[in-house]
Amino acid sequence: MTRTAAQPTVPATATAPSADPADGAVERALARLPRVVDLLAARAAEHDRDGTFPYQGVEAVHEAGLLTLTVGRRHGGPGAGLADTVRVLARLGRGDASVALLTAHTLLHHAEQARTAPWPAALYRRLLTESRRGPALVGTLRAPAGRPPAVTAHWHGNAWRLSGRAPHCPGAEALAWLVVEARTAAEPVAAGRPRTGLFLVRADSPGLEIDPAADQLGLRAAAGHDVLLEDARIGTDAARLPRDAAGTPDPVAAAWHQLALSAVLLGTARAALDWSAGRLRTAAATYRRPLGELDAALTGAEELVHGLAARTDADPAAATRAPAVQLLAARTAGDTVQRALTLTGSTGLDRRHPLERHLRDTLSLRTQLPAEDAVLDALGGALLGG
């Protein structure tokens, strides 16, 4: 009998766990950020002058992984928190405030889905599928504070139908989805008083049209056109109605919105200050102190916004500080640009230079945040126990 030599024992190789593609996605996206900001800045003046939509800039943001940065980990996304979101938007604001604003709106919807899942699962999967194919911008149509929605929802047959005109919708011509605030005119059951809710609407839905009437002072590239809805049919799964007429505000959602847009505003102001400093460099001795004052104030506002964003990630209770912080940030950003314009004189108003665009953009961005009077009244009321 032939003996067979004993074969050496080969230890079994443990199967390594497959790497989660979301691991490191935030860091990779942040690493691409400087190149994206440079690209946005290079085209910002052209889009502002012509009032054209920055398709190339939005595409660059998408390709860098920045447009889906807040998609939740359970959906295969990076799951970026508020601190990273604020960091990205502040940098994008330095390049082009319009693109930064459009990015902010989309990131806020993904972040809210990761936190509270307001979108039905099937519709959100559809949005994610579209996001893998290309930029899928999401916009929100809400009435200004204290005013009723301009859109009415009628119950007809087995679906909602939306009608009305919603003005100044940023990104209107390029949105994939709109989240429309509407007031019900009739309920499928006797629910008593009309309610105000949010309805998810595909931008290519029958009955939805864009009126390209936008000719605003600032954020001109954002294409804030009017949206016309005429019996646009919305399925029951695309409606989110509160149980009561008023609904309950979510302080964390409000903090995300306020700090995200404050970051865009501060980024725009930082771009204005950087340009002014470069312009005044030949007379550095004369302008050193006033520029230093502007930089100190702006740095303080940036630290407030970034710091509160990080605190809110760690402790959602910190979100209640957002109204005061965004108020200070908005004031500081506006003051920075105004005073930079004073320092540079008539040169700053020359349309061949970016400072006057930054001025117009900061004025327009401030309308995206709660009105000062409302914020101060609420803060004072809280102190007085009212």
- pLDDT of 275-284, one tens digit each? 999 999 887 7
- pLDDT tier, 22 (very low <50, low <70, confident <90, very high otherwise): low
Can you list the domains of the chain with their CATH numbers? 25-135 (1.10.540.10), 151-240 (2.40.110.10), 251-383 (1.20.140.10)
User: Among 305, 218, 302, which Cα is nearest to 258's?
Assistant: 305
Q: What is the pLDDT of residues 231-258, one digit of tens each?
A: 999 988 898 877 544 556 799 999 999 9
Is 301 in contact with 332 (CB distance < 8 Å)? yes
Bridge partners, residue 159, by sequence: 156
Residue 190 has pLDDT above 50, yes or no: no
User: Among 142, 159, 340, which Cα is nearest to 257's?
Assistant: 142
Q: What is the pLDDT of residues 43-68, one digit of tens each?
A: 999 999 999 999 999 999 999 999 99
* Distance of alpha carbon 172 from alpha carbon 152, whole angstroms: 19
Looking at this protein, which amino acid is placed at residue 15? T
Residue 111 has pLDDT above 80, yes or no: yes
Q: Is the pTM of this model over 0.85?
A: yes
